[in-house]
Amino acid sequence: MYVMKCAQGENFSKGELQRFGNIELSPSAGVLNYGQGLFEGMKAYRKQDGNILLFRPEENALRMRLGAERMCMPSPSVEQFVEAVKATVLANKRWVPPPGKGSLYIRPLLMGSGAVLGLAPAPEYTFLIYVSPVGNYFKEGVAPINLIVEHELHRATPGGTGGVKTIGNYAAVLKAQSAAKAKGYSDVLYLDCVHKRFLEEVSSCNIFVVKDNIISTPEIKGTILPGITRKSIIDVARSEGFQVEERQVAVDELLDADEVFCTGTAVVVSPVGSITYHGKRVSYGEGGFGTVSEKLYSVLTRLQMGLTQDKMDWTVELRQKTY
């Protein structure tokens, strides 16, 4: 794993690779007491020629920098972040699955590791990266998932931290997610906390609704995480000739949608087979992908895995001769 530290008010300078293992923290570390922490998620894919591809790592770096500003933390520069990711992946290259057999999930962490008892930014920060080979996020694989709309508990509030990838955002979804899974659902779809009628996102991914070949997704307004896969799917969809709208999407629009799908680093694109709202279950062709989501999934994953030419200039290739 990769580790780099700095003090509050200073810049990150030089990090180092260390053997993966437990880390030592003070009981009064800022991350443990006040949740001063961020994380990112990204993947590395192995190509047929053995080279390894990263997907838009600079976007993760930029998102971490924005999140760090909101959480009063210093953060690595974009160049430091990307170089640290490259170094970590190369040090763990044997764990990158063969082509088509999965990917190497990359987890960068930024946390207040310094001791602080009063409510204040921590005096020291740690940037850390570790990795793990992974397969599909949902147990259904790329088969359609089944969601339930949550109308009492909320993931984020206006003015809060829902728009940055802070660690606390994910603890907030566990109660509703656990209850949903106990009832047989794959995950939870959250509504806005003000009107309780506009879609926000699923526990760990963004959502898209398709009607008459128009793709709609909730707009980014501070309560929704600006997903990098979300951003990429929007660009891919527009390049393929689809009309994409980023706007408020009412929950009622789910009732007559042609397709619904989710996007995220872990899921990439996941078709939604059904959504249950106030006991009413709406199905969307539970046999597999819809026409639109299948097209977008194919285009994006083939690009991520190096099976097509990267006209978007989104991938970073780690060639065999460099390791």
> Which domains are assigned to the chain?
2-135 (3.30.470.10), 145-305 (3.20.10.10)
Joined together, the tokens standing for residue 180 give: 């949903």
Q: Per-residue pLDDT for 321 more than 70?
A: no
- Between β-strands 268-277 and 145-150, what pairing exists: parallel, antiparallel or unpaired? parallel
What pLDDT sits at residue 260?
97
Distance, in Å, from the CA atom of 199 to the CA atom of 219, rounded to the nearest integer, reads 10
Provide, rounded to the nearest whole percent, the portion of the chain with pLDDT above 90: 92
Looking at per-residue pLDDT, the higher value among 244 and 322 belongs to 244
pLDDT recorded at residue 142: 72
Q: What number is the average pLDDT over the span 260-268?
A: 94
Query: 184-195 b/e with 16+ CB inside 10 Å = b?
Result: ebbbbbbbbbee
Average pLDDT, integer, range 106-127: 98
pLDDT of 137 strictly over 70: no
What are the tens digits of pLDDT across the range 149-206?
998 999 999 999 999 999 999 999 999 999 999 999 999 999 999 999 999 999 999 9
The mean per-residue pLDDT over the stretch 69-90 comes to 98
Q: Is 165 a catalytic residue?
A: yes
For 54-72, what is the mean pLDDT? 98
pLDDT tens-digit series, residues 89-107: 999 999 999 998 999 999 9
Confidence of residue 266 (pLDDT cuts 50, 70, 90): confident
What residue ranges in the chain does DSSP mark as E strands?
Answer: 2-7, 16-17, 37-39, 42-46, 52-55, 103-112, 124-134, 145-150, 187-191, 199-202, 206-211, 214-218, 243-247, 259-264, 268-277, 280-283, 315-318
Of these residues, 43, 47, 86, 165, which one is catalytic? 165
Task: Please give the pLDDT value at position 122.
Answer: 98
Q: What is the pLDDT of residue 138?
A: 59
Give the lowest-confidence range in 78-92, 125-139, 187-201, 215-229: 125-139
Q: Is the pLDDT of residue 322 over 70?
A: no
pLDDT at 136 over 80: no
Tell me the pLDDT tens digit for each residue of 273-288: 999 999 999 999 767 7
Mean residue pLDDT across the chain:
95
Q: Please say if the pLDDT value at position 85 is more than 60.
A: yes
pLDDT at residue 141 tops 70: no
